[in-house]
Amino acid sequence: SYPVGIYQVTPTQQYQPGDLVSFCPPSNDIIKMALSRGYLKHGLCAGGTTPLVKRIMAMNGERITLDGVVQINHNAWRDFPVRSVDSHHRLLPKLTDFTLQKGEAFLLSDYAPASSFDGRYFGAIQASSIIGKARPIFIF
């Protein structure tokens, strides 16, 4: 994840790969597990979390493969390992490969790529769950 701090969040109609965004993660069993393990903090999003800040890495029609490392359209992103267990040796979700549908985005943290709980473990999000582009103002 990105550092705790104050971020300016600006809603817009257009998002693209490379944008740093604030969003509410999906409300599902994987997010509930992340909350119970303390990966995510409790907050006001529909799934019970605080909004997260991640970078859009892929959108509509792009192919995501999660086999040891993240691959986007068969290009390996070696800085983004896909782990099978967390630091306490608990199993992490194992997602199958998928192609992003219209209106979906795949988000990762390039701030702490080795340890972030992000799209590698919860998959794609609906672009409609993006609150806005995020710009750090003050980092703690």
Summary mean pLDDT of the chain: 96
Q: What are phi and psi of 123, to 5 degrees?
A: 80, -155
Q: What is the pLDDT of residues 94-105, one digit of tens each?
A: 999 999 999 999
Helix or strand holding residue 14 (H, E): none
- Look up the CATH number of domain 5-139: 2.10.109.10
**pLDDT above 70: percentage of residues in the chain:** 100
In this prediction, residues 62-69 reach a mean pLDDT of 96
Angle at 81 between CA 2 and CA 31, to 5 degrees: 55
What integer is the mean pLDDT of 70-93? 96
Q: What is the pLDDT of residues 11-54, one digit of tens each?
A: 999 999 999 999 999 999 999 999 999 999 999 999 999 999 99
Q: According to the model, what pLDDT value does residue 60 have?
A: 95
Domain assignments of the chain as residue spans, ordered by start? 5-139
Confidence (pLDDT) at 115: 87
Round to whole Å and give the CA distance between 134 and 109.
13
